[in-house]
Amino acid sequence: MIDLSLIWVVIIAIGVLIYVVLDGFDLGIGILFPFLKGQQERDVMMNTVAPVWDGNETWMVLGGASLYAAFPLVYATVLSALYMPITIMVVALIFRGVAFEFRFKANKSKHWWDKAFIGGSILASFFQGVILGAYIQGIKVENNMYAGGGLDWLSAFSLFTGLGVVVLYAALGCAWLIFKTETNIQDKMYELMPKLLILLFVIFGCVSLYTPLAHPEIAQRWFNQAHLIYFSPVPLLVIFFTWKALRACKLRQELSPFGYTLALVFLAYTGFIISLWPYIIPPSITIWQAASPESSQLFTLIGALILIPIILMYTGLSYWVFRDKVRIGDEGYH
């Protein structure tokens, strides 16, 4: 018998990973804006993602819609628990999107739109990390309803993971700009990338140490003999890909830093899934307990199987069409 809940978890997990990658380097460019002051250089930075940035956020919409259709208990509970950080994140994304459009048309007020773009990118990234940290900490549920307080999400750990996501997105954006730009911008990114990689490595290490110490149930899953076989290579691979990314920057390779940073994102995401599996509302509700009726899952799955290939095709086509480097003086996006 086909496990529809498991299929939906795979769809949502892949959708979230694609969002983190695509919108991650997109947000990362806004985080990196303060490191380059010239308007022409900032124009180039924005033009590297201008044709695709709004399409990247399609995956966030897909993830939210899928969660509502397949796991309505998660949708209701998690939104209730994380209402404030989610609202701030959405408002930040709105400011960032408006700044993206208006900045290209502004003259005297361009510096204000730069600030909105920077602030929106940093806040959206930070609160995505806060949401992640609060989710890992666990959500109190009683009688299928959120039973915690309005500020349960706020903790030292969630603030630290917020910082971690900002650094992660900055590293993705930096690697993307190495690949998509030339001369001064690329030189600056080559200089900045090793510092971000080392900081990211330290953050990964701190989260990896704190999580099992603070959450015995996660430690039990990590060091369970069955899970240990799958989990043990992850720390070694993180060290390996961090070293490869640093070496690629030293050798001034253009595409490799982005590829190795993507590998680090995938490893972090794998560790996150291993830590929580099979709980979709940690620490107590599994994917099967939170699932909607099979008829609902099957009906929406048919629609998803039609829409997802279309989204993948237009996303892939967008990146293929705009695959070349972006330079100062290019007409860009208007």
Mean pLDDT of 89-110: 82
What does the alpha-carbon distance between residue 29 and residue 36 come to, in Å, rounded to a whole number?
11
Average pLDDT of the chain, as a whole number: 85
High-pLDDT (> 90) share of the chain, %: 27
Query: Using CA atoms, how far apart are residues 35 and 28, in angstroms rounded to an integer?
Result: 12
Name the band, by pLDDT with cuts 50, 70 and 90, for residue 272. Answer: confident
In this structure, the dihedral spanned by the alpha carbons of residues 26, 307, 14 and 121, taken in order and rounded to 10 degrees, is 20
pTM of the model: 0.91
Candidate from 42-46, 170-174, 222-226, 289-293 with smallest mean pLDDT: 222-226
Residue range 173-187: mean pLDDT, rounded: 89
Residue-level pLDDT at 119: 92
* CA angle, 25 then 190 then 114, to 5°: 50
Residue 301 to residue 11: CA distance in whole angstroms = 10
Residue 273 contacts residue 13 (beta carbons within 8 Å): yes
Secondary structure of the chain: what % helix, strand, coil (to 5)? 75, 5, 20
Q: What is the pLDDT of residues 302-317, one digit of tens each?
A: 988 898 899 889 888 8
Residue 263: is its pLDDT beyond 50? yes
**Per-residue model confidence (pLDDT) at position 334:** 46
Write down the domain spans for the chain. Answer: 19-322
pLDDT at 1: 66
